[in-house]
Amino acid sequence: MIQDTYVLSDSQKRERRRITIMFTILSVLIVAVFLVSMNTGSIRLTPIEVLRTLFGEGTSDQDLILFTFRLPRIVLSVLVGAGLGVAGCVLQAITRNALAEPGIIGINAGAGLFVLAFTAFYASPAASPVYLLPLLAWAGAGLSAVIVFGLSYRKHRGFSSTRLLLNGIAITAGISSMTIVITQRIDAEQYQFYARWISGTFSGQDWKFVMAVLPFLAVLIPYVMYKSRTINVLNLGQTMAVGLGARVTREQVGLLAAAIGLAGACVSVSGSIGFVGLIGPHLARRLVGTKHQVLVPASALVGGLLVIGADTISRMWLQDTPTGVIVAIIGAPYFLYLMIRSKM
Amino acid sequence: MGTNSQQGAEVDVRTADAMNQIYARPWTGTAIIVIGLIALALGIAICVNYGYQDIKLITVWEAIFRFDPDSGEHQIIRALRLPRVLGGAIIGAGLSVAGAIMQGMTRNPLADSSLLGLTAGAGFALALVFAFFQGVSFNVLLLIAFLGAGVGAVLVFGLSSMARGGMTPVRLVLAGAAVTALLTAISEGIALYYRIGKDLSFWYAGAIAGIRMSQLEIMFPWVAVALLGAIALSRSITLLSLGEDVARGLGLRSGRVKLAGLAIVLILAGAAVAVAGAIGFVGLLIPHVTRKLVGVDYRWIIPCSAVLGALLVIIADLAARMINPGSEVPVAALIAIIGVPFFLYLARKEERSL
């Protein structure tokens, strides 16, 4: 493949043009959905009014609606989608398994457990310190991911992908039963708070959450991009990667940590949203091919589009049904479709 | 006609041969059933006896066989303690047998009703009932739980059999996880929208404390018939566990057997979810332990699993009540503490065999 592209510069050019077109289409779509989303809500604003307000010429009411209520939520949905998309892309490349996804390997469950423990500890979650919740969720996500990966590592053979998935399912099952113990001890209001979190929603999120997740994305996505050539090599498999001189284990661990950090940061502000890390990279691969220099940013865009789209649909037609529910309704069938086609 | 019956006789002989070659330990099996039933009776007595209020064993005996409606102690035993322990035993037996049948029929060591989407399906059906048809009778609820378990099972088994290379264990578990994620997400959405989350969380909790005698009376005939059916089917399941081709070659109508097996599994798993919510890992653990003890013949595995499963759940429940008296740990959580490492171990073995 690599050699082909060097020889056939025509096809290389065509490929480049195709990729550019795909990126343009994805970006335009995100902007379009963004504008639609800004218009969606109980108070209707025309697209012109939205644009005027965005450029600082709106009334104070319009400012309040857009900048305080709608914008943070919409920005957050794009960021979370992008982060989960990149995390899924890295996980799929390193485990060389099409079904690897942050949710299925236990990240969401771990975050959920910590959020629940926190809910149970603070009688009223709303009155707690702002950054404590995302931080705890992130720690929970990291902890369960480390356990799952630790159990799936084999000396000299790297991470076994089948075992990774099975271990993820086992740990998720174990965590859900711990979750159940705690849900027995909280009251209905606390449960409602937790239930909203666990089903993944952006309603009521403000700029503080954007600021909580942004640093992770700003550091980790560029890191992954910087390592994209290494990911290409790792994706060839353990033996091949060693042969090509990659320090496999060290690179794997670094990239996995980045993926876990990204996914954990995302679910810590959005609640449990699954399957974005699965669909994002898959669609992206169909659009731009398998080179991670372009696949990583494309996964981010597709993931972002998916989540902002789901969130907009939920606000337009589904009375604010949690975004995670909508994403799961799209994502689980897609997972099953991939499962049917995969060799295992 | 003559040749037909000759062929039939020959197949019968071959089947008998095959059955004889299957490794089984009848003596161990008999011992497990006898000792298990004695232990079960003892366990039930201890469970009924143990609690906040001290009640003498003789009073327990009287409450069961010479019930006096005016006695407070008799009321406690009849209304609270007895349904709980009997319900636990029935559910444990049912879930273990369901797991054993699934493991045998699909030749999948990782089969369990909660792993393969049956529990999530039944939970989903219950969420629908709570949201839209509140106040239906327990009879109807039970039937709906069967149906829901059926939806989950059909999705998981149907989709994984569509795959190239057929239903491998890993694929079944993955399909189970995805179907569970899907159905749980929809249930959560419904729960949030109709504000029934807390009601539903009790169902998911897998606790047997709330079982009522009236529920048991409705549930028991179903489970009893299903368990008898499972024992009647056990010979065919043993043949199926040798592989579909072998079973067919020995003249087994595998389609019918699978259908009957599936119906039994749905009744057992659905009934368990309807009264106690999601109790996982019983159906995974018990059949494996039993197989280690009595060999690979399902004529022994199924009855022994029933006895051991019932024991596991009532012992776990007793432990859950002793650990933290007053505020109880759901029995499902306690079983998961053993179940999760066991699943990890099985997954490791399964992956090695790939």
- The answer to whether residue B188 neighbours chain A at the CB level (below 8 Å) is yes
Answer whether residue B232 shows pLDDT above 90: yes
More confident residue, A151 or B16: A151
- The answer to whether residue A313 neighbours chain B at the CB level (below 8 Å) is no
- In angstroms, the Cα distances linking B203 to A91, A266, B277 are 34, 30, 4
Q: How close, in Å, is residue A274 to chain B by CA atoms?
A: 9
Range from A19-28, A152-161, B5-14, B248-257 that averages highest in pLDDT = A19-28
**What pLDDT, in 10s, does the model give residues A253-271?**
888 889 988 988 888 888 8
Answer whether residue B63 shows pLDDT above 90: no
Residues in chain B within 8 Å Cβ distance of A166: 110, 170, 173, 343-344, 347, 350-351
d(CA A300, CA A70): 22
Averaged pLDDT of chain B: 83
Q: Which of A103, A321, A335 sits opposite B189 (nearest CB)?
A: A321
Ordered by start, the domain boundaries in chain B are 83-353
More confident residue, A49 or A17: A17
How many Cβ atoms are within 10 Å of B39's Cβ, its own excluded?
17
CATH code of the domain covering residue A266: 1.10.3470.10
- Crossing angle of helices B138-162 and B254-276, in 10° steps, is 130
The A residues from 65 to 104 touching B (CB cutoff 8 Å) are: 99, 103-104
The A residues from 11 to 70 touching B (CB cutoff 8 Å) are: none
Residues 6+ apart with CB under 8 A from B86: B44, B216
Does B193 contact A321 at a Cβ distance shorter than 8 Å? yes
Residues 6+ apart with CB under 8 A from A55: none
Tell me if residue B45 falls in helix, strand or coil.
helix
- The answer to whether residue A338 neighbours chain B at the CB level (below 8 Å) is no
Please tell me the predicted confidence (pLDDT) of residue B221.
92
How does DSSP classify residue B84?
H
Q: pLDDT > 70: what percent of chain A?
A: 92
Q: Which amino acid does the sequence have at B228? A: L
Q: Which of A177, A195, A332 sits opposite B191 (nearest CB)?
A: A195
Q: Confidence band (pLDDT; 50, 70, 90) for B214?
A: confident
Answer whether residue B327 shows pLDDT above 80: no
Averaged pLDDT of chain A: 82
Q: Confidence band (pLDDT; 50, 70, 90) for B1?
A: very low
Of B43-47, B60-64, B150-154, the range with the lowest mean pLDDT is B60-64
Of A170-184, A234-248, A303-317, B22-36, the range with the lowest mean pLDDT is A234-248
- In angstroms, the Cα distances linking A160 to A95, A96, A169 are 7, 9, 14
Instruction: Assess contact for A91 and A107: CB atoms under 8 A.
Output: no
- In angstroms, the Cα distances linking B120 to A120, B135, B155, B185 are 25, 21, 11, 10
Answer whether residue A342 shows pLDDT above 90: no
d(CA A328, CA A341): 19
How many Cβ atoms are within 10 Å of B323's Cβ, its own excluded?
10
Domain that holds residue A46: 2-341
Residues 6+ apart with CB under 8 A from B289: B308
Q: pLDDT > 70: what percent of chain B?
A: 88
- The answer to whether residue B281 neighbours chain A at the CB level (below 8 Å) is yes
d(CA A159, CA A252): 9
Q: Can you tell me the mean pLDDT for A23-44?
A: 83
Tell me if residue B225 falls in helix, strand or coil.
helix
**What pLDDT, in 10s, does the model give residues A82-96?**
999 999 999 888 888
d(CA B18, CA B14): 6
Does B159 contact A180 at a Cβ distance shorter than 8 Å? no
**What pLDDT, in 10s, does the model give residues A187-227?**
777 777 777 777 777 776 778 888 888 888 999 999 998 98
Please tell me the predicted confidence (pLDDT) of residue A1.
44
Of A197-201, A294-298, A312-316, B119-123, the range with the lowest mean pLDDT is A197-201
Please tell me the predicted confidence (pLDDT) of residue B246.
82
Q: What are phi and psi of B295, to 5 degrees?
A: 95, -170
What is the CATH number assigned to the segment(s) B83-353? 1.10.3470.10
The A residues from 125 to 144 touching B (CB cutoff 8 Å) are: none
In total, how many domains does chain A have?
1
**What pLDDT, in 10s, does the model give residues B86-104?**
989 999 999 999 999 999 9
Question: Strand A158-159 and strand A153-154: pairing?
Answer: antiparallel
Of A59-63, B139-143, B291-295, the range with the lowest mean pLDDT is A59-63
Please tell me the predicted confidence (pLDDT) of residue A156.
65
Interface pTM (ipTM) of the complex? 0.78
How does DSSP classify residue B330?
P
Please tell me the predicted confidence (pLDDT) of residue B2.
47
Q: How close, in Å, is residue B291 to chain A by CA atoms?
A: 22
What does B54-70 look like in DSSP terms, one character per residue? Answer: ---HHHHHHHHHS--TT
Answer whether residue B315 shows pLDDT above 70: yes
Please tell me the predicted confidence (pLDDT) of residue A6.
52
Please tell me the predicted confidence (pLDDT) of residue A5.
47
Tokens 């299957």 correspond to: B22
Does B182 contact A184 at a Cβ distance shorter than 8 Å? no
Of A163-177, A318-332, B165-179, B318-332, the range with the lowest mean pLDDT is B318-332
Task: Pull the structure tokens for residue A19.
Answer: 């990729």
Indicate the helix (H) or strand (E) that contains A159: strand A158-159
Residues in chain B within 8 Å Cβ distance of A173: 114-115, 280-281, 336, 339-340, 343
Residues in chain B within 8 Å Cβ distance of A339: 159-160, 163, 171, 174-175, 178
Q: Which of A178, A328, A333 sits opposite B333 (nearest CB)?
A: A178
The B residues from 32 to 71 touching A (CB cutoff 8 Å) are: none
